[in-house]
Structure 1
Amino acid sequence: MVPWEDMDPSAQILFVEKKDDLNELVLKKDTYYDVSGYSSFLFVYEVNFHYSELRTKQLLEFLNENIREG
């Protein structure tokens, strides 16, 4: 947390009405940690979210629409 007076004027602000709206489903290429010693896969993705039924359904929808055999 930063007091308003000390905040960078060009900073972006995230406003949510309730804490449950934070930590949405995020899929990103690569990972926070280097996993090259554990896997030789060319494409590695990281999935982050706080569990909720809606977010789980969103993840399953994404996987069903985007995973292709091979």
Structure 2
Amino acid sequence: MTETVRILSIEDEADIRRFLRSTLGANAMTVIEAATGREGLQKVTTGNPDVILLDLGLPDMDGMDI
């Protein structure tokens, strides 16, 4: 059985999150979404992602702090 790659997208722009979800999802990847840094930190622990795509300019914290 093949495991699906789990990608966490931490991005405040809804259009970019939607693009990543549709593009990566079409390639059999599971995309977990977070719109803020705080939400992203929570989903890192609960979602167990393989890869994190991180916006460095988030509204609630600097992406480098994550």
Asked if TM exceeds 0.5, the reply is no
- Report the structure, 1 or 2, having the larger helix content: 2
TM-score by length of 1: 0.26
By relative contact order (CA 8 Å, sep 6+), the higher-ranking structure is: 2
Larger Rg: 1
- Report the structure, 1 or 2, having the larger strand content: 2
